[in-house]
Structure 1
Amino acid sequence: MQHHDFGREVRRRRDQSLYVTHFTKEVESDEGKLSPGQVLRRILRQRRIYARPVGDRCAGQGRDADAVCLTEAPLLGLIVPTAPRSPAHGIGFDKRFVYAQGGMPVIYLRRDLLDEEHTPPVDPRLYPFVKPFEVEVENPTYEREWRVPHDLAFTFEEVAYLIVPREERRRFLEEFPSVPRILDYEFLLESM
């Protein structure tokens, strides 16, 4: 089988990225409410992003599938994610690493193709990757979402970058010196 140079192909295209990014959001935990920055620190300390219910209710019989959600939007497109995610706190990985961990792009599926129990017409192994939508109501395709159907464990060497607010960058650099790149969110905004 011939080896495909995925990186060379993607670098030539401005509408694609070699990376996928997981944005954090405020969550309730045993310690109380955690800010997006605290969630990112917890992810880094544990070296793991936990799979959560994705909210699509299409894993058969109205159940949710668990997955880690990421976006493959190019870097400058990353700075305007939708609420409740924080555009200023994210962790990025090379797509090839995420693919090797079982991740892939979601399958956007018309909601009217689900059956009465909200089950998609696909192999059950694909349930975590199905994202139903109604074209009259929403357009989720701009998210360019990827999912991993289980927790995503990683080492600092596998982290491509972090995105953090300018006022938090120095602290992240001090706390996580092994992370290769810590990008300043405001710099990304200014460079648009």
Structure 2
Amino acid sequence: MSDYLVHFTKRPALLSILEAGHVDARNQFGWGRNDTSTAHLRMSACLSEVPVDQIERIASRRGHYGIGFRRDFIQGLGGARVWYAEEPQRTILFDTFRPLYRNDRDRTNGLWKLTPFIDDVRPEYDFTWEREWRVPGGVRFALADVQFLILPRGEDKELFRNPAPDVPLLSPQGTEFWRDAWVALGNDQDRDVDRFLREYANPADYLTWDHEEYDYTWPVEGQTSAEAVEDVFDAELDYEAQAELVSRLDGISGGLWLKISAFEEWAADADLGV
């Protein structure tokens, strides 16, 4: 989400957060959760740098209400991205922490302070797409720190304008969110991302993953971020804007994109009903 991070929640919780000026650290997250003596280090508030094309997906999972902050504000509170360790890094972590459990009785080793930001990939659910950030101790904020609120359609906006006047109110629906976000927040790149996602999709949303080939099964040719940006914008963007957009899109999908019209044409020919 570029410069912004969102804490997704439910309606009563968002009202409580605005009243208190604090996103509570109610749960323990991270590596070593069985170590009770360091549990306080892992009590964290969670936010998401969710990819722009996944806003509806994460809202459905975490809650259709949200509060958005600038990324540099969260970093200033000690927040950081979560690292999801896969093999062989997972085994290296086990080997690193095993002697600490036995020998570092006072838990003074600095590695313990990193544990809120480390998790392993679970076979039953891959959390990596959520682009999670964590803030040990929670997020204490002033109203001026709030960049926007996310509210579903039909919500009583006046109810939220009372505790948060002048804060932009955005929808959790993907297209509406990014259309409104770039208008409310003045970010031209969000406008360009919104336009791009009308023509290209993250392959993770359409294609199956081949575990043997360690790649998606591509029925049509994929395009790199640079190729897709050139296709959508032609010569409209200057070199710097194009390079920044490509970099951002690389971070969303890993650098490869599926052209929606080409996939839909293939699906129609294959009679898949997509």
* TM-score of the two chains, using structure 2 as the length reference: 0.51
Unpaired segments of 5 or more residues in structure 2? Answer: 102-109, 180-193, 199-274
Alignment match, 2:7: 22
- Number of residue-to-residue matches in the alignment: 163
RMSD (CA atoms) = 3.1
Unpaired segments of 5 or more residues in structure 1? Answer: 1-15, 25-35
1:97 matched to 2:73? The reply is: yes
* d(CA) in 2 for partners of 1:155, 1:98: 13
Alignment match, 1:188: 177
More displaced, 139-148 or 60-69? 60-69
Higher radius of gyration, 1 or 2: 2
Alignment match, 1:157: 144
* d(CA) in 2 for partners of 1:163, 1:68: 17
Higher RCO structure, 1 or 2 (CA under 8 Å, sep 6+): 1
Shift of 1:76: 4.3
1:144 matched to 2:144? The reply is: no
- Larger helix fraction of residues: 2
Alignment match, 2:26: 52
* d(CA) in 1 for partners of 2:138, 2:164: 24
* d(CA) in 2 for partners of 1:49, 1:58: 23
- Larger strand fraction of residues: 1
1:114 matched to 2:94? The reply is: yes
* TM-score of the two chains, using structure 1 as the length reference: 0.71
- Would the aligned equivalents of 2:8 and 2:47 in 1 still touch at CA under 8 Å? yes
Shift of 1:108: 1.4
- Would the aligned equivalents of 2:18 and 2:164 in 1 still touch at CA under 8 Å? no
1:130 to 118, 122, 125: 118
Sort the Cα spacing of 1:82 and 1:54 in 2 relative to 1 into closer, same or farther, 3 A.
farther
* d(CA) in 2 for partners of 1:138, 1:174: 36
What percent of counterpart residues are identical? Answer: 28
1:78 to 55, 73, 76: 55
- Would the aligned equivalents of 1:161 and 1:179 in 2 still touch at CA under 8 Å? no
Q: 1:100 is aligned with what amino acid?
A: G
